[in-house]
């Protein structure tokens, strides 16, 4: 009788030992419409020679269209043609290409590439 009870108990417990566990993933979706805004920014550049330069503040570039003044922000990068950061101050007459976004007084300089 004891053997029968033990055998039944083992038979009832064995399937639980071999049971597989699984995961259930629930995905929540929204069914409403939300307004979307698209902002397009265009990066343009001005090429010419440096007229005046104040490190970390301003640069004035003389181009074919006349002088153009730019305010340098904290994120502005000054690099050479290979992309290496230039640590020396820019000098008048040096060829540069100033990449910026915006127009007029709202121009934000992204980077200045120093030419040879």
Q: Give pLDDT tens digits for 62-100.
A: 999 899 899 888 899 999 999 999 999 999 999 999 999
pLDDT per residue as tens digits for the range 14-70: 555 544 444 455 556 556 666 666 666 677 889 999 999 999 899 999 999 899 899
* pTM of model > 0.75: no
What is the per-residue pLDDT for 73?
A: 87
What is the per-residue pLDDT for 50?
A: 96
The verdict on residue 1 lying in a domain is no
What is the per-residue pLDDT for 19?
A: 45
What is the per-residue pLDDT for 13?
A: 64
Cα→Cα distances 57→20, 61, 114, Å: 66, 14, 17
Mean pLDDT calculated for residue range 98-109:
82
The verdict on residue 4 lying in a domain is no
The verdict on residue 65 lying in a domain is yes
How many structural domains is the chain composed of?
1
11 against 63, higher pLDDT: 63
CATH number (domain holding residue 93): 2.40.50.320
What is the per-residue pLDDT for 34?
A: 61
The verdict on residue 105 lying in a domain is yes
The verdict on residue 63 lying in a domain is yes
The verdict on residue 33 lying in a domain is no
- Long-range interactions of 47-56: CB distance < 8 A, separation 24+: 47/95, 47/96, 47/97, 47/98, 48/95, 48/96, 49/92, 49/93, 49/94, 49/95, 49/96, 50/90, 50/91, 50/92, 50/93, 50/94, 50/96, 51/92, 52/92, 53/89, 53/90, 53/91, 53/92, 55/89
The verdict on residue 2 lying in a domain is no
What is the per-residue pLDDT for 76?
A: 92
Structural domain harbouring 51: 43-114
């Amino acid at each position: 009788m004891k053997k029968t009870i033990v055998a039944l108990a083992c038979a009832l417990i064995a399937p639980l030992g071999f049971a597989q566990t699984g995961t259930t993933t629930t995905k929540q979706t929204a069914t409403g419409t939300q307004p979307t805004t698209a902002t397009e920014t265009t990066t343009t550049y001005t090429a010419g020679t440096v007229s005046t330069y104040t490190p970390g503040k301003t640069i004035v570039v003389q181009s074919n269209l006349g002088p153009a003044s730019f305010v340098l922000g904290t994120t502005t990068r000054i690099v050479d043609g290979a992309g290496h950061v230039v640590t020396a101050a820019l000098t008048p007459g040096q060829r540069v290409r100033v990449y910026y976004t915006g127009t007029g007084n709202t121009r934000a300089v992204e980077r200045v590439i120093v030419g040879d």
